[in-house]
Amino acid sequence: MSVQAPGRRPPALILRAASAVRYRFFLYAGLLPYFLGAAWARGVEGVFRPGEFWAGLAGIVLAVTGVESFNEYFDARLGTDRVFNPSDEEDIPEWMFWLGAAAFALAAGLGLWLARRGGWPVLLYAALGGLAAVFYVGPPVRWVYRGLGEAAIGLSYGPWMTLGSLQLHTHRFSWGALAASLVPGLLITALAVVNEIPDFHQDRLVGKRNLVVRLGRRAGVRLYLGLAAGGLAVAAIGGAAGVFPRWSAAAALAGAPFWLASAAAARGTWDTPRLFVPAVRGAVLCYAAAAAAFTAAVALGGA
């Protein structure tokens, strides 16, 4: 890992930080489950608190910044992305660690402020998410190296994020919202699994005991497709049964074409990372389309 040259100009440092924190985690992982909790509060419970919403959103952005900064830093330290090209040097400066630490500290401060207004469960959800985020690849726990990375992602970007967002507005727990949180939770877990398939060999060599390393790539394809289908099925069944607001079942229709496209692309390409890219893209679009459509339906409530 190279150390940042002292002469690099501040604008370049800012651009480097912005590019290191990958945009897709803001859009696909962090924001949609948070919006779902707020949508449930507004559409189902009839409560919405703008101040808490914006403060919570700032906390989520900070937390995801911390996650990505730590992931970049510790992966570079462990050489995960250079396993087949050990001579390549990644330009991951030391300040990447401190960027993540500062982001987590600010997110924790916002969490404490929001807990005073929304009750102690806000702090509980924030603490659970923080433990998952800080130690996903960070020592000494490193969830992803213990085969628990997918569970940490699914819980953080499913129930904990959705219920924490809801708590800011309603100050109470909801079984219906817990069921709704399974939609993004299962879909984001599927997204975590599909992203592990192209990295199978390097993950195995560096000791990441994720589900694809444990089960194999062919089984990994079946697993991610099953998880995504489960998320779509929850939306469809819950909407049809009246557990979720009307039109919620449409989320399954929004995500299904991309699920089918991903399944078709994965057939025969699971052992060729370069050719597997369309399968990953289909899974990402399935998550984005289904989660966004489901959140919109919930926000509309009984309209």
- CATH number for the domain spanning 218: value is 1.10.600
> In the structure, what pLDDT confidence band is assigned to residue 229 with cuts at 50, 70 and 90?
very high
Answer whether residue 5 shows pLDDT above 60.
no
Answer whether residue 27 shows pLDDT above 70.
no
Q: Confirm if 198 and 280 have CB atoms less than 8 A apart.
A: yes
Answer whether residue 190 shows pLDDT above 80.
yes
- Looking at residue 111, its pLDDT comes to 87
**187 lies in a domain?**
yes
Return the sign of the alpha-carbon dihedral for residues 166, 29, 149, 232: positive
Across the range 224-236, mean pLDDT stands at 96
> In the structure, what pLDDT confidence band is assigned to residue 3 with cuts at 50, 70 and 90?
very low
**202 lies in a domain?**
yes
**4 lies in a domain?**
no
Question: What is the pTM for the complete model shown?
Answer: 0.83
Across the range 200-221, mean pLDDT stands at 90
Q: Provide the residue range defining the domain that includes 17.
A: 11-300
Q: How many C-beta neighbours within 10 Å does residue 303 have?
A: 9
**73 lies in a domain?**
yes
Question: Tokens 């726990």, residue?
Answer: 141
Quick one: what percent of the chain has pLDDT higher than 90? 50
Question: Where is average pLDDT lowest: 16-25, 37-46, 209-218?
Answer: 16-25
Answer whether residue 12 shows pLDDT above 80.
no
All residues at 6 or more sequence positions from 212 whose CB lies less than 8 Å from its CB, including other chains: 193, 196, 197, 200, 203, 220, 223
Burial class (CB within 10 angstroms; exposed 0-12, middle 13-18, buried 19+) of 147: middle
**145 lies in a domain?**
yes
Answer whether residue 140 shows pLDDT above 90.
no
All residues at 6 or more sequence positions from 225 whose CB lies less than 8 Å from its CB, including other chains: 190, 259, 262, 263, 266
Instruction: Bin 89: left if φ > 0, else alpha if -120 < ψ < 50, else beta.
Output: beta
**217 lies in a domain?**
yes
CA distance 36 to 111: 19
Q: Confirm if 33 and 75 have CB atoms less than 8 A apart.
A: no
- Looking at residue 133, its pLDDT comes to 72
> In the structure, what pLDDT confidence band is assigned to residue 4 with cuts at 50, 70 and 90?
very low
**229 lies in a domain?**
yes
- Looking at residue 255, its pLDDT comes to 95
pLDDT digits (tens, 9 = 90+) for 60-101: 888 888 877 777 777 676 655 544 444 445 566 777 788 888
When divided into structural domains, the chain yields a total of 1
CA distance 159 to 143: 18
DSSP conformational letter for 21 = S
CA distance 245 to 251: 12
CA distance 72 to 271: 25
Q: In whole numbers, what is the pLDDT of the chain averaged over residues?
A: 84
Across the range 185-206, mean pLDDT stands at 91
> In the structure, what pLDDT confidence band is assigned to residue 263 with cuts at 50, 70 and 90?
very high
**3 lies in a domain?**
no
